[in-house]
Amino acid sequence: MSESKVKIKVTHNVVHLPAIALRGLVVFPNHIIHFEVGRAKSIAAIEAAMRGNSSIFLVAQKQTDTEDPTAADLYAYGVIAEIKQVLRVSEELVKVLVEGKTRGKLLSLDSAGKFLMAEVRSAPVRGIPAGKQNQTEALVRSLKDCFEEYLSYSP
C-alpha cells in the first residue's frame, strides 16, 4: 500500500461553517431571533449545520434582490450563531431560531456546493481604549439626547 503525504493547514481562530446570506436582516451576538428561510442553498446550510455542531455563519447581503449571492454581495462581518430550533413549514420554507454567539469576519466563501461554505475568523468587538473613555461617554450622552429629541417629534 502506498502512502501519500497530506498537508494540513492549521490557522488559529479560523473555522469553516455553513453560511446563510440574510436579506433585510442582521443578527447580533447575544441575541436570539427567529426568521424564515426559503432559498434551497440556505435550507441545505441549515441541514448541514444541524448534522454538525449546530453552528452557522449568518451574514447580511448588500442588495436584497440578489438571488445567488457571492462573497462580493455580502458584508465583510457577520455573526457565528447556534441553531436552537428548526421548524419545517413547507417543502420550500423553514423557520429557524438562532442565538448569535460571536462576531465573525468572512475570509472566503465557497458557493459551488449545495450550500454556502464560509471560512470565518472570530472577530470580537474591541473595548474602548483607556484614553478615549471620556470622549466615548460624551458621544453616547449626545446621541441619547438627539434620540430623545427625535422621539419627541413622533408620538
CATH of the domain at 114: 2.30.130.40
User: Which residues constitute the domain of residue 37?
Assistant: 14-124
CB atoms within 10 A of CB 122: 14
- Assigned domain for 35 exists: yes
pLDDT tens-place string over residues 89-112? 988 899 999 999 999 999 999 988
Q: Are residues 120 and 155 located together in one domain of the fold?
A: no
* Domain total of the chain: 2
Q: Are residues 80 and 135 located together in one domain of the fold?
A: no
pLDDT of residue 131: 84
Q: Are residues 78 and 102 located together in one domain of the fold?
A: yes
Q: DSSP E strands: which ranges in 23-114?
A: 32-37, 55-60, 77-88, 94-110
Q: Are residues 84 and 139 located together in one domain of the fold?
A: no
pLDDT tens-place string over residues 4-42? 443 434 457 789 999 999 998 999 999 999 999 999 999
Provide the pLDDT confidence category of residue 118 given band limits of 50, 70 and 90. very high
